[in-house]
Structure 1
Amino acid sequence: MYIASVPQAAFLAFLWLQSLESTWATPARTQGFLAIPLTKTYNLPSSQLDEPNALFANGGELAGTIQSPTADAIHSLGLDIEGDDYGYVASMLIGTPPRPFRLLVDSGSSYLWVGGEGCVMGDGSGDCSNHTLIGPQSSSTFKDTGAPFFVKYGSGPVAGHIVSDHVNFAGIDVKDLTFAVALKESRHYGLKSTLYDGILGLARLLPGQSSFPPLIDTLYEQGFIKDPIVSYKIPRRADHLDDGEVAIGAMNPAKYKAATVITLPNIGTQRFWEVSLQRVVVNGLRMTWGTRSAVLDSGSTFILGPRKDIAKVHTAIPGAQYQNGTWAVPCHTDVIISFTFGDRTFPIPARDLPFKPVDKNDPDGLCLSRIGELQGSTDSRWIVGDVFLKNIYFSTHLGKNEISIAELA
C-alpha cells in the first residue's frame, strides 16, 4: 500500500488498504510448514463498483494457532479469494482472551495497526463499532503507552496510540507485541462496508522512521523466525486452486521453480520493496523510455505508472480507448504484456488485463484496464500490484535488503 495523499480521480489507486471475511480452520503441519486459511474480500459497496472510474485495491485473511513452533519453520498464511482478485486479508488473535482481528496483508506499507476502543471516524459521522476493537475493556493484557501514532494513506489518515498486547498467528505466539491502535480513522476505514479491522504492513522502516518496529523485525530479533523473510504466492480466483500463501521466515519451495529464481537488490530508499524494471513489452512491441523502477505491492490490485508510460502501453493494445481519465481495453483482448527484471522475463496473461465492463450491459465491449495512471506522478516509479504479482512468486529479505522473484511451480 503506497502511503501518500492523492486525488480520488480515475483510479482511486492509492487505496491499497482493503478487506476480508474470515473462516477459521485448523492449521495443517506439512514438511515444516504451517498452513492457515486466509480470506480475500472486496470491501466497498457494489454501487461504487458500477462507477467506470472507480478502481480500488483489496485484502484477504489468516487464522489459527499451533503450539511450540520452531524458528526454522515456515509460518504459512493460506490465501483464499472473494471478488475479482482484489486483495488479501489475514486474521490474528489479539488480546486476553484472544479475539480474531481481520487485517489487510500489505507489502507496500510498514505498520501493524487495529482499531482501538473508543475509535471514531475523523469526519464526525460515527464510531468504528462495526469492527473488532482492542483496549483495556476487552483485553486484560492490553498496555497503552500513550505515545502518538499517525499514518496517512491515499484513502485517508489514521491516528491513535502505540500499544502492546498478546498476539498469536500462524503458529507464532508473542506475549507482548508492540503495534498501534487507531482512535481516529478516516471515514473509509470506519465504514461497515470496510471488512477489515486494520492493516498488516510487511514493508520495511529505516531506523528513526518509527517509534516501534515493523512486525517482521520483532519476530526475527526475538527468535521466532530464522530469517527476516516474507514470501508471497498470490492466487487467482479463476484458477479455483486455493493455493495462495504468505510464508513468513522463508521461501516455500513447493510454490516456485527453483531454477528460475533471480535475486535483486532493493533500490528503494524508503519503506518500499523496489526493483529496477528493465523492460516492458506489449503485444511484441518493446516500450522505449528511460530508467524505470517497480514497487512490488501486494496491497495494490492494479499496476500504476506515470501518465506517458501508461498511454504508450495502451496505444500498443488494439482497441484500447482513453475515457474520462481512465484507460479501457477490449474485454476479450488477447494482448500479452511482459515485464523483465534481472534479465528474466515474466508475462502477464491477457485474461488478467481487463477489469470490469465500462457498460455493464455490454460485457463483450470495453472493460476498464487493470493498468492505470499514477495520479500526479512525474517520476519513473511504477507500482506493480496483483495484476502482475499473481503470475510470479516473490520474496523479500529484510536483513539483506533483497527481493527474489521466480516463476510459479
Structure 2
Amino acid sequence: MVPSNRDQRWPNYEKRKAGLLVLLFTHAAYAIGATGAEASGFIAIPLVKTYNLKEPDFDPPNSLFVNGGALYGESQPDTSKLLHALNLDIEWDDYGYLATIQIGTPPRDFKLLVDSGSADLWVPGEGCQAGDGSGDCGNHTLLGPTFSSSFRHSGEFWMVKYGSGPVAGHIVSDHVTVAGLTLKSHRFALALRESKHYTLNRTLYDGIMGLARTVGWNHNLPSLVESLHGAGLIKRPIVSYRIPRAADGRSDGELAFGGMNPAKYKAASVVTLKNIGPIRFWEARMDSIVINGITLRIGRRSAILDSGTTFILGPRKDVALLHTAIPGSRFSDGLWYIPCHTEVVLSLSFGGRAFPIQPRDLRATPLNKDDPNAECKSRIGEMRGRGGSQWIVGDVFLKNVYFSTNLEKNEISLAELA
C-alpha cells in the first residue's frame, strides 16, 4: 500500500488499500525465540485477505483532528540455513492479506495487513478513538500498559496519512515476535486516533506491517526486516511472498523472512531485477504487456510491486490501450468492464520473462451474476496523480508469481509458482 500524498481517483469499490502500514523499528536490545526453527526449516503463521469498503467508510484527509483530544500519557541461533515464515491466509475475496504476530507480555495476537508498499508497523492503542470523535476503535486487539507489562511509551508523536485517512499516535516499545523470532523492546507505532475505516468492526485487521524500504520514509527508523537482520535473527534481509487465491481453496500462502522458500517456486524461472525506486518502493522495469500474444506499444514503463494493493493501476492511456485489446471490453462512467467469461491471456514481462495472469484474476464484481453473458468490473484501472510511465502492480498479478525482495542487494526477484 502506498501512503496517500496524491490523488489516486480509483473507483469507490476499488479503493487502494483498506489501510496502510506504519513500521517504526530501531536497533534496541534483542532476545531470540526460534522454537522449532532448526527442525522445520521455516515457521509459518496465517496471512489473511481483507476487503475494500464503500465510500462512506472513508474519512476526509484531516478529519482525524476535527475534535482534537490529547493522546494518553505516559544468545542467538545459527540462522544460516533457516527460513522463518508466516502463513498467508485469505478472507473475503482476495482484497487484502493478513499475518498474525505477537506483541507484549504476555504475548497477544495482532492481525496485520501485509504491505510491501510502505515501511511502517502500527497497532491500535489502549484508549484509541475514532478521529471524528464518534467512538472507540472497534473490536480490535489493543496494546497498552494494561495489557502488557513490557510496554513502554516514548511520548514521541507519530502520524501517517493513507488513502483511507490518517492515523496518529505515539512511538512505543514492546516485545514483538514474528514467525518465532522475538525482538525485545522493539520500537514501533501505536495508533491512538484512527480514521473511520480502521475503527469499523468489519475491518478485519488490527494494524499494518510495512515491508518497503525506509529510504525517504518519514520517521527514519529501520523496518521490521532490517531489525530482524540487524539482530542476527535472519541471515539475509530478504522477504518473500506466496500470495494465495481464495478460489483455489488451499492454505498455501506464505510470508517468508530470510530467503526464498524453494518449495514455492520453480528455480529455473527466477528473474532478478534491480530495484529502481529511489525511495521506499520496490520498483522494477517492466519490459512489456502482452495480450493474447500481441505486445502492446506502451514504451518504457516501470512497476511498483505492492502486496497491499488489490488491483493493478496504470496510466490512463495504457489502461485504455490494454482494455481495447480485450475482446468485449467497454468503458463507462470512469470504469472498464470486461466479459465475465473472458479467457484472455494477459502477461507482464520482467527481465525478459513473461508472467501470465490467470483470466479469473482480471475480473471483479459481475453486473448481473444470473446472466451467463454478464460483464464484470475489470481489476485493472487507471491511476491519476503519477507520471505517465509508472504502474502500481498489486495482487491481481502477484497471486500469479513468487515475489521476493532483498534489502541488502536492493533487488527484486520474480518466479513462476511451483
Q: TM-score, normalised by structure 2?
A: 0.86
Q: Quick one: distance in 2 between partners of 1:7 and 1:390? A: 23
Which residue number in structure 1 is paired with residue 32 of structure 2?
none
Which residue number in structure 1 is paired with residue 11 of structure 2?
10
Q: 1:133 to 1:43 in 2, by over 3 A?
A: farther
Pairing 1:320-399 to 2, within 5 Å after superposition = 320-362=329-371, 364-399=373-408
Which residue number in structure 2 is paired with residue 219 of structure 1?
228
Counterpart selection for 1:71 from 75, 79, 85: 79
Deviation track 1:308-331 (CA, whole Å, cap 9, x = no partner) reads: 110110001111011211111000
Q: 1:234 to 1:203 in 2, by over 3 A?
A: same
Identify unmatched segments of 5+ residues in structure 2: 21-34, 58-74
Q: Is the 8 A contact 1:110 1:205 kept in 2?
A: yes
Q: CA deviation at 1:11?
A: 5.1
Q: Quick one: distance in 2 between partners of 1:306 and 1:38? A: 30
Deviation track 1:278-300 (CA, whole Å, cap 9, x = no partner) reads: 10012222111221100111111
Which residue number in structure 2 is paired with residue 406 of structure 1?
415
Q: Quick one: distance in 2 between partners of 1:92 and 1:183? A: 20
Q: Quick one: distance in 2 between partners of 1:130 and 1:366? A: 37
Q: CA deviation at 1:209?
A: 4.0
Counterpart selection for 1:269 from 278, 281, 284: 278
1:141 and 2:158 correspond:
no
Deviation track 1:147-174 (CA, whole Å, cap 9, x = no partner) reads: 1111111111111111100111211111
Letter in 2 for 1:158: V
Q: 1:14 to 1:206 in 2, by over 3 A?
A: farther
1:168 and 2:171 correspond:
no
Q: 1:363 to 1:324 in 2, by over 3 A?
A: farther
Q: CA deviation at 1:224?
A: 0.9
Which residue number in structure 2 is paired with residue 248 of structure 1?
257
Identify unmatched segments of 5+ residues in structure 1: 20-25, 49-66
3-state SS of paired residue (2:273): strand
Q: CA deviation at 1:8?
A: 5.4
Identical aligned residues as a percent: 58
Q: 1:374 to 1:230 in 2, by over 3 A?
A: same
Q: CA deviation at 1:82?
A: 2.1
Q: Is the 8 A contact 1:305 1:377 kept in 2?
A: no
- Count of residue correspondences: 385
Which residue number in structure 2 is paired with residue 124 of structure 1?
133
Q: Quick one: distance in 2 between partners of 1:98 and 1:296? A: 32
Q: Quick one: distance in 2 between partners of 1:11 and 1:336? A: 27
Q: Is the 8 A contact 1:68 1:171 kept in 2?
A: no
Counterpart selection for 1:290 from 285, 299, 309: 299
Which residue number in structure 2 is paired with residue 317 of structure 1?
326
3-state SS of paired residue (2:43): strand
Q: Quick one: distance in 1 between partners of 2:77 and 2:41? A: 9
Q: Select between 9-18 and 300-309 the one with higher mean Cα deviation.
A: 9-18
Q: Quick one: distance in 2 between partners of 1:188 and 1:370? A: 22
Q: 1:309 to 1:235 in 2, by over 3 A?
A: same
Task: Report the aligned-residue RMSD.
Answer: 2.4
Q: 1:8 to 1:118 in 2, by over 3 A?
A: farther
Q: 1:182 to 1:332 in 2, by over 3 A?
A: same
3-state SS of paired residue (1:80): strand
